[in-house]
Structure 1
């Protein structure tokens, strides 16, 4: 029998599943994460409204308590994340101290720490510092932790940083070219507005960004021609980075789902010898299944009739000799290659709300019927 987990480790593991959303759609996860998102929204709203003098005078006590409660809850969140850092897959091979140190230096942890700074600076008597407004505003970016879309967008921006930097360089070059042309076209007509190239750069940047305040505009025919060309170039300059970001964002979402699913399938010994095209075909027939915490997935008396991949959450496998907990990326079950499944003598249940990817025999047989070479390859790998 496997050794029983230590109570403290079990509590830490459960806290990790909740705070890092590893427990799928469990009620406790929704409550914790929904509460934190609501806290951030209330905090930012209070920060904005507090800048109105009349509201600040009328509701100063309310704003004070919102800030105090928010800072305390953010401190508790940071402490829990620091405590559960050894349970994170990224730091699993490190000691507890090394894992917590590595997490504390990560960008999300630094952001969490800065969110607590206003409270402690106020306790030290420095609550009137204007810089504290910046730290309070940084709490808005904590929403990125609870939004997979924002995380994917950040990853897309990082992936395309060179292309986006090139767009900035091109924008600066076009701005300088337009400002120089407008300076020579208008400096005699409007010396107070286009006397120098730096003066014309203001007109160039607001025209390229399609803002067009109208405070500076050309009056000569040549100046209007330059302005027309600059306005058209502005449309191109806006479309270029938008297209890069949109394409990278879509690719990042597809890549993340593809890599996770691919890695799970490639771990199965039966599929380890397949090439990229064959694994891609198997990925297309996977079926998503959501199970609640405590739900039974497999019973020991049932024959093996499907292969299950843990996409999120945690599943406990109970065999006669031992128990094992499977996390995201693991698989269990058996895919029968014969006419009937063999009894595998194990039971499986979801310890928390989990999401599974299921490969059913019916879909698998339909796939192998379309690709006989895949079926022959799998039979060779299985030794049947």
Structure 2
């Protein structure tokens, strides 16, 4: 009954909001993670990575503001009458250098979206530069984006491997193994092989 009246009062938007509220019912299921060691390790790693994730967000925000603004001014085109749309709009030259098309960079926030997609190496291809200046800016954004993303990811991987080692998910060498992970039989075989090499070297020296 309640969803019916919500629809009557607020239309489909109210019903959509009600469905989103229902999604919060799955939140208590996250409590099951406290019984899983791997999930707990993931939570610990995320807690230790907060500073690096904060740095990543700051770099992405500044990168979006800088590269997004550059791309907007380089790719927005000119405000003129565009016949296919029968109205005025920002029009730019296409990839062929001749055909005119509507510019997808209609605002700086849309250029922010382009930078985030480019920096994270997702590359949807919905916003693409066509001018020489835009392509140069995009090239710098690609390279810097890879460098920005690689640092937090490497730190997270290192913290994750250390956390797994502490929690016991990665087995430590047993008493029958050395620090390099070799069992006694393998060590004997290696030592015997080294003795054979030394014997052959002595024979070669005696021949010479």
**Correspondence for 1:215:** 126
1:253 aligns with 2:164: yes
Distance 1:149 1:186 in 2: 47
- Residue 104 of structure 2 aligns to a residue whose secondary structure is helix
Task: Provide the aligned length of Structure 1 versus Structure 2.
Answer: 134
**Correspondence for 2:206:** none
Relative contact order, higher structure (CA 8 A, sep 6+): 2
Deviation at 1:218, TM superposition (A): 0.6
Structure 2 residue runs without a partner (length 5+): 1-17, 78-90, 93-101, 177-208
Distance 2:21 2:113 in 1: 32
Report if the CA contact (8 A) 1:175-1:205 is conserved: yes
Deviation at 1:178, TM superposition (A): 1.2
- Residue 217 of structure 1 aligns to a residue whose secondary structure is coil
1:233 aligns with 2:144: yes
1:183 aligns with 2:183: no
1:172 to 51, 54, 61: 61
Report if the CA contact (8 A) 1:208-1:233 is conserved: yes
**Correspondence for 1:135:** 24
- Residue 130 of structure 1 aligns to a residue whose secondary structure is helix
Q: Residues 1-384 of structure 1 correspond to what in structure 2 (within 5 A)? A: 130=19, 133-188=22-77, 190=92, 192-256=103-167
- Residue 56 of structure 2 aligns to a residue whose secondary structure is helix
Structure 1, residues 199-251: CA drift from partner, whole Å, max 9, x if none?
A: 31121122122222222111111111111221222322332222121111122
Report if the CA contact (8 A) 2:118-2:145 is conserved: yes
Structure 1 residue runs without a partner (length 5+): 1-128, 258-282, 288-384
- Residue 193 of structure 1 aligns to a residue whose secondary structure is coil
**Correspondence for 2:14:** none
Report if the CA contact (8 A) 1:167-1:241 is conserved: yes
**Correspondence for 2:81:** none
Structure 1, residues 10-61: CA drift from partner, whole Å, max 9, x if none?
A: xxxxxxxxxxxxxxxxxxxxxxxxxxxxxxxxxxxxxxxxxxxxxxxxxxxx
Report if the CA contact (8 A) 1:175-1:208 is conserved: no
Deviation at 1:143, TM superposition (A): 4.0
Provide TM-score, normalisation by structure 1.
0.31
Q: Taking structure 1 as reference, are residues 174 and 136 closer, same or farther at Cα in structure 2, changes over 3 Å only?
A: same
Q: Taking structure 1 as reference, are residues 200 and 284 closer, same or farther at Cα in structure 2, changes over 3 Å only?
A: closer
Distance 1:232 1:215 in 2: 20
Deviation at 1:152, TM superposition (A): 0.7
Report if the CA contact (8 A) 1:193-1:216 is conserved: yes
Report if the CA contact (8 A) 1:183-1:195 is conserved: yes
Report if the CA contact (8 A) 1:175-1:204 is conserved: yes
Report if the CA contact (8 A) 2:67-2:115 is conserved: yes
Deviation at 1:141, TM superposition (A): 2.2
Report if the CA contact (8 A) 2:56-2:149 is conserved: no
Report if the CA contact (8 A) 1:187-1:195 is conserved: yes
Q: Quick check: which one's helix share is greater?
A: 2
Cα RMSD (Å) of the superposition? Answer: 2.7
